[in-house]
Structure 1
Amino acid sequence: MKSKRNALIGAALSAVMALGIASDAEARTKLKLSHYLPSVHGIHTDFIVPWTKQVAECSGGEVEFEVFPAGTQLGNVARQQEQVVAGVVDIAHGLHGIPRGRFPRTSLIDMPFLTDDAGAATHALWQLLPGVLAEEYKGLKVLALHAHNGGLLHTRGKKVETMEDMKGLRIRTPSPAVSDMLSFLGATPQGLPPGEVYENLQRGVLDGTVFPWDPVKSFGLNEVLSNHLDLGAYTVSFFFVMNERSYARLSPKARACIDQYSGDALVAKFDAWWDAWDKPGRDEAVAAGHVITELSDAERERWRKALQPMIDAYVQKVKNEGVANAEEIYRLMQEKIAAYKAAK
């Protein structure tokens, strides 16, 4: 009888331990996070990976992450928004302009000569999210919105110094606003994911691309480029968002950890980050003996004035496509950017 009783006690203890192990396993949540950049890019190494580690540590291990960068099954730039809305991934970082048309309000930040400062553009986007831009993020918890520093025009052979030099060039474009800018200047915009630019430059399908310095380095483009025009005529914006259902399923503690390392605390970092990410690309081009041309103030003003009809037409197009207050949004962006620069 005693041995039977001991056996029953042992079985009960085993059951309790097994239940505890199962409960612990159930308490752990693995979140899928996707983005479209290579794992050597600063967005991956300085932003995404450290962010996941901070949240995981804060949650006491309750939350774990599986990150899918470029080159993985979930790393397609054109699918970041749809993947996170559908819950295929829990969190995604992507470009507002690819595919085109999904974020017409937010993408007004990409307008030519609105700003060449990552910090200013990021500040404007984040300040305008409540109320003004929020409609474009239904079903999503916005962890951050941000933008890069002013983009340059990089070419493989032809040196570009004036607007007239743009005519006939096949240039890779990142967004609808930049496409319209290029077309207005006489170039032929080519919509391609960043990861396909190298091959198309190498094959001569492209004459050049518009990028800030950082992807020139991370995608190895200095190997197939020779000239760089420091245009600073545009910026491109990004989203870092979470599926609302995935967020709601987490414990209050885990949600608090995500909140702690997102929003204002995260957005404030992008200004310095982009400056750091741009430097290696420029340094590499200098070391390779490439030609880097700065637009003169007079030439920059020529570009600005020449592009004003395109800017007006683009804002009107956004309005015609259903954003009734497109002019107001554009004006608010101008005001937020000016306020940020004045306080800097």
Structure 2
Amino acid sequence: MSLKKTLLAGLALATVSAATAQAETTLKISHYLPAVHGLHKDFIKPWSEQITECTNGEVQFEIFPAGTQMGHVARQQEQVMAGVVDIAHGLHGIPRGRFPRTSLIDMPFLTDDAAAASYALWELFPEYLAEEYRGLKVLALHAHNGGLLHTNEKKVETMEDMAGLRIRTPSPAVSAMLSHLGADPQGLPPGEVYESLQKGVIDGTVFPWDPVKSFGLNEVLNYHLDLGAYTVSFFYVMNQRSFDKLSTEAQSCIDQYSGADLVAKFGDWWDGWDVPGRQDAMDAGHEITELSDEERAKWREALKPMMKEYLQSVKDAGVDNADEIYQAMQDKIAEFQAMKTE
């Protein structure tokens, strides 16, 4: 090959390589849980790897979990809206008041099943919830399994045992539930619960089993009441501008691994994530109690005024069809349960 042809071939190769390098995009993902949590290991990291593989390396990811500059639970929505990160996973209830429609799924005794709650959220998103996510591309909405009440010094078996207990709460609906049961709800990010329990600032917390394990809380807890009385919901969203800047092929890959198929995985994931937390409590000799049927009926009755008041507060916040959304959630959960038994 002549020197001229060699130079031209080299120039062409360099041009292609430069174009390829220029086409590569690194997206930032933030969430508020430790990197040891199943949500990071089983969901977000593998999801990002699927997109990278699907795009043949065009889209890369940098993940910021708890403990990093972008891993604060209260900042997930504002970071992704502002484009500080491209994708964020966060709690609907922190900060309060930003997702009143979606957070109706947190109402007590609606469901204790992550799969059912996640299904209901995704099914209702287009018609009832979408306006809460303007400027965002919603990749998934989901919820956790029924939460428990975990305490350090006092065993709780009845509603009377709740009186005056300072309990960490994750959302407005759960706060209202705790107040009506006689407790004193304390709003805290999950990462602050360990120290608050250790220092006696709070008496307990409500969580499913999985964060009890990932935040090491069994070290500062002794009693666990299996309530199955509430769930809490989460968002996994992308800045719409960040999505729009991607190539058509990359957008297609993100769509392929998001949405209904992704949402359908959370039930099995959460069942698996809950196991180590419970096992740790058992290994530590903690006392695990299940709320009796009689006591559960008593709690349901006591919480009826709270549920009515909470629905009214959502209407007062401008959601005129709060009753309709709440009923639709009940219907979708029942629909999911019926499909499971077929």
With normalisation by structure 2, the TM-score equals 0.97
Distance 2:279 2:5 in 1: 70
**What's the counterpart of residue 213 of structure 1?**
209
Distance 2:329 2:261 in 1: 21
Distance 2:36 2:24 in 1: 29
**What's the counterpart of residue 180 of structure 1?**
176
Q: What is the CA distance between 1:62 and its match in structure 2?
A: 0.6
Distance 2:48 2:6 in 1: 40
Q: What is the CA distance between 1:340 and its match in structure 2?
A: 0.9
2:296 maps to 1:303: no
Which residues of 2 match residues 132-147 of structure 1 at below 5 A?
A: 132-147=128-143
Given the alignment, which residue of 273, 278, 283 partners 1:277? 273
Distance 1:120 1:83 in 2: 29
Q: What is the CA distance between 1:221 and its match in structure 2?
A: 0.2
Given the alignment, which residue of 71, 83, 88 partners 1:75? 71
Which stretches in structure 1 are left out of the alignment for 5+ residues?
none
Distance 2:99 2:78 in 1: 12
Q: What is the CA distance between 1:45 and its match in structure 2?
A: 0.4
Amino acid at match of 1:71: G
**What's the counterpart of residue 47 of structure 1?**
43
Q: Which runs of 4+ in 1 moved over 6 A?
A: none
**What's the counterpart of residue 30 of structure 1?**
26
2:207 maps to 1:236: no
Note the alpha carbon deviations across 1:147-184, whole angstroms, 9 max, x for none.
00000000001000001111110000000000111111
Note the alpha carbon deviations across 1:80-101, whole angstroms, 9 max, x for none.
0011111111111000000010
**What's the counterpart of residue 147 of structure 2?**
151
Note the alpha carbon deviations across 1:202-255, whole angstroms, 9 max, x for none.
000010000000000000000000000001110000000111111111111111
User: What SS class does the counterpart of residue 26 from structure 2 fall into?
Assistant: strand
User: What SS class does the counterpart of residue 32 from structure 1 fall into?
Assistant: strand
**What's the counterpart of residue 313 of structure 1?**
309
Distance 1:58 1:15 in 2: 29
Distance 2:262 2:9 in 1: 46
Note the alpha carbon deviations across 1:300-342, whole angstroms, 9 max, x for none.
0100110010000000000011001011100110111111112
Distance 1:264 1:325 in 2: 25
Distance 1:203 1:87 in 2: 37
**What's the counterpart of residue 248 of structure 2?**
252
Which stretches in structure 2 are left out of the alignment for 5+ residues?
none
Given the alignment, which residue of 117, 124, 130 partners 2:120? 124
Note the alpha carbon deviations across 1:62-108, whole angstroms, 9 max, x for none.
11000000000110100000111111111110000000100000000
**What's the counterpart of residue 200 of structure 1?**
196
Distance 1:118 1:17 in 2: 51
Distance 1:319 1:146 in 2: 23
Note the alpha carbon deviations across 1:102-150, whole angstroms, 9 max, x for none.
0000000000111111011001100000020000010111110000000
Amino acid at match of 2:71: G
**What's the counterpart of residue 264 of structure 1?**
260
Percent pairwise identity: 72
User: What SS class does the counterpart of residue 295 from structure 2 fall into?
Assistant: helix
Distance 1:92 1:133 in 2: 18
**What's the counterpart of residue 92 of structure 1?**
88
Distance 2:129 2:224 in 1: 34
User: What SS class does the counterpart of residue 140 from structure 2 fall into?
Assistant: strand
Q: What is the CA distance between 1:265 and its match in structure 2?
A: 1.1
**What's the counterpart of residue 100 of structure 2?**
104
Given the alignment, which residue of 334, 337, 341 partners 1:338? 334
Structure number with greater Rg is 1
Given the alignment, which residue of 171, 183, 189 partners 2:185? 189
Amino acid at match of 1:332: A
Distance 2:272 2:122 in 1: 21
Q: What is the CA distance between 1:12 and its match in structure 2?
A: 4.9
Amino acid at match of 1:53: E
User: What SS class does the counterpart of residue 88 from structure 1 fall into?
Assistant: coil
Q: What is the CA distance between 1:16 and its match in structure 2?
A: 3.3
